[in-house]
Amino acid sequence: MKKGTSIFFCRKMGAGNSTKAREIAHKSNAVLLSEDEWLASLCPNKISSLNDYIEYSNLLKSQLKKLVQTILSTGINVVMNFPANTLSQRARFRSIFAVIDAPHNLIYVDLSNAECLK
């Protein structure tokens, strides 16, 4: 069976990533997973610092890995609105799709700081 494609982003904050993720998910009939939505739902009012974000974000990763692999294995595309800005973040994404030999698409959003601040 053909695997779904994992789609994720390398971008700055404020670059319109959530909007772009929703558009791509809609156009490709994909499942959209948003880190902001998961954290807001599962950890309301618990993230007030970068350390808090890192702690709670890391708690999501192992379960999301299994979920995404299961979805991709059924042939459904997954758009992940999670940061993939650093080598370690991109390696984490690779650990999701490479293990099950699913295709992927890294979308690089190249906007200036001034554009992001708008």
Question: How far apart, in whole angstroms, are the C-alpha atoms of residue 47 and residue 45?
Answer: 6
Using only the alpha carbons of the chain, give its radius of gyration: 14
Query: In a 3-state reduction of DSSP, which class is residue 46?
Result: coil
pTM attached to this predicted model? 0.82
The residue type at 95: S
Alpha carbon of 4 to those of 41, 111, 115: distances in Å?
26, 28, 32
Q: CB-based burial of residue 30 (10 Å sphere; 0-12 exposed, 13-18 middle, 19+ buried)?
A: buried
For residue 116, the model assigns a pLDDT of 43
The pLDDT of residue 3 is 95
Task: Per residue of the chain (118 residues), give pLDDT as tens.
Answer: 799 999 988 775 555 678 888 999 999 999 999 988 998 998 898 999 989 888 888 888 878 899 999 999 999 999 998 877 777 777 887 888 888 999 988 887 665 555 544 5
Dihedral pair phi/psi, residue 117, rounded to 5° = -70, -20
The pLDDT of residue 8: 85
Short-list 73, 74, 66, 57, CA closest to 95: 66
Topology of the domain covering 6-117: Rossmann fold (3.40.50)
Both tokens of residue 35? 């880190």
Q: Domain map of the chain by residue range? A: 6-117
